[in-house]
A and B are shown apart, each in its own frame.
Chain A
Amino acid sequence: MAEAPSTPEPIQRLIEAFHRLPGIGPKSAQRLAYHILRTSEQEALALTEAVMDVKRRIRLCSVCLNITEADPCAYCSDDRRDKAVVCVVEQPLDVLAIERSGGYKGQYHVLHGILNPIDGVGPEDIHVRELVVRLQAGEIQEVIMATNPSLEGEATAMYIQRLLSPAGVRVTRLARGLPSGADLEYTDDVTLARALEGRREV
């Protein structure tokens, strides 16, 4: 990043730290850093503490790898949830999205990533092995693949399906199709074809 040479080093360092965050470009990083400079010491301290608390107190659930304070997490230790079904998602935010829908009462497994062959993200780079080990206990009968309907999400779902097929569990996939509010005229062929495959009686 080309900064004016007169920028004091601490500010420069903060700008660079912000710039490393996802979705933050050089301009935004600069704005944020100068905003911090203007805030009170208290506010700055609260921010640092919040950041450190997340790092110190939040960890991955040893069962499902979701982020949690207590291990196992609230979902894994809830006896009212179905232990025979596990829903595989890319990231912790996806768990929240599925919980918000209110329609699912089973277990989760968070991959923390997605297979991306062209960028070199392979099976060893995401939490797939832990899923295989979970299945060996024999309690799980159905795995629902809830990866995104992108090329990478599809590749991940197919890979896991292949990996699990010798174990004899049922592997299902979230129905893919039109997002609500979509315009048929502008919908791509893949989405349309998938939506047709997943059609239902009205």
Chain B
Amino acid sequence: MSTRPRSYNTEGVILRRRNLGEADSIFTVFSPTEGKFDAIARAVRKPKSRMRGHLEPLTRSQMHLAHGRNLDVFTQAETIAAYLAVRDDLDRLTLAIYCCELVDRFTADRAAQSELYDLLVDLLEALDAGASPTVARYFELRVLANTGYEIRLSHCAICDGPIAEEDTLFSVASGGLVCGGCRSRGGSGRLISVRAIKAMRFAANATMGQFAGLRLEAELEAELQRVLGEAIRSVLERETNSGRYVEALAVPLRPPVHESPGDVQ
């Protein structure tokens, strides 16, 4: 017989929701002590539910759970922070959802990662306080580092040799920058600018607030977004759903296409 308590308290950020049956929902929670886990909230979609709203995605809540046969069951939930300003701004909202998806995809169930949790809370707070979307780049870099996929920026990812101060090869497959010597011996990847390298090195040692204070030119921001997006795709071996969405928001919707047999795509 197990002697574990029948219920427990934890705080956490709600990463996502899936509806179950008529009125229940399953929430994915990221907790500093429990790690990521799924739990059921019974009747939470009924208007009179006491937990409704305290378990919305992107909400940081204090929760009480009872151990269940398969999934644990929420018995109480109370909001710690709802990040209202994030919810009122489409771009920040989309970035926050994207970062939650990264946490979801980069973590395994029930593995506590308190540093990653602090990073997520820092991000939500920064976005709520009006930080520029650049904080997402900091977040991407730190998620990689925190989950064992740190990008090698100080030395060559292949031979550990020094990196010259010039546009440098970035190899996702090798896990970072590749020196001129290794590059000439057949390293492949994309060239990235000295500015992008400096920005990433800065992010590796700065706080989120310090990084958010940088005023990055649009071109540099776009370069960082490409490089980090590539690194993330290579680790996950797929696109993120919400990353696709961030791009969709930037492109105006085309009018409906009426396809006729003679149309050529």
Binding site for B on A (CB under 8 A): 23, 25, 115, 117-120, 122-124, 128-130, 132-133, 150-151, 154-155, 158-159, 162-163, 179, 181-183, 186-191, 193
Contact = CB atoms under 8 A, between A and B. Distances in A.
A183 B49 CA distance: 9
Interface residues on B, range: 35 or more
A117 B242 contact: yes
From DSSP, what is the main secondary structure of chain A's interface residues?
A: helix
A193 to B, nearest CB: 6
Nearest to B47: A179
A11 B102 CA distance: 42
A188 B97 contact: no
B245 to A, nearest CB: 4
B249 A159 contact: yes
A158 B86 CA distance: 12
A122 B248 contact: yes
Nearest to A161: B90
A123 B248 contact: yes
Contacts of A186: 50
Interface in B227-243: 241-242
Contact of A128 (B57, B90, B253): B253
Interface of B: 15-16, 21-22, 47-48, 50, 52-54, 56-59, 79, 82, 84, 87-90, 93-94, 97-98, 100-101, 104, 241-242, 244-245, 248-249, 252-256
Nearest to B54: A188
Given A132-B253, A182-B48, A151 B84 contact: no
Contacts of A187: 53
B244 A190 contact: no
Contacts of A181: 47-48
A23 B24 CA distance: 9
B255 A133 contact: yes
Contact of A133 (B93, B94, B256): B256
A129 B253 contact: yes
A132 B253 CA distance: 9
A202 to B, nearest CB: 22
A158 B87 CA distance: 10
A189 B241 CA distance: 28
A181 B89 CA distance: 30
A117 B241 contact: yes
A100 B233 CA distance: 48
Contacts of B52: 188
A154 B87 contact: yes
A155 B241 contact: no
B90 A150 contact: no
A193 B242 contact: no
A129 B255 contact: yes
A190 B90 contact: no
B22 A23 contact: yes
B242 to A, nearest CB: 4
A73 B242 CA distance: 35
Given A117-B97, A128-B253, A190-B53, 20 more contacts: A117-B245, A118-B97, A118-B101, A119-B241, A120-B241, A120-B244, A123-B248, A124-B253, A129-B254, A129-B256, A151-B57, A151-B93, A154-B93, A155-B94, A158-B93, A179-B48, A181-B47, A188-B53, A190-B82, A190-B84
Contacts of B79: 188-190
B83 to A, nearest CB: 9
A118 B241 contact: yes
Contacts of A25: 21
8 contacts: A119-B16, A120-B242, A129-B255, A129-B256, A158-B93, A182-B47, A189-B84, A190-B79
A188 B47 CA distance: 12
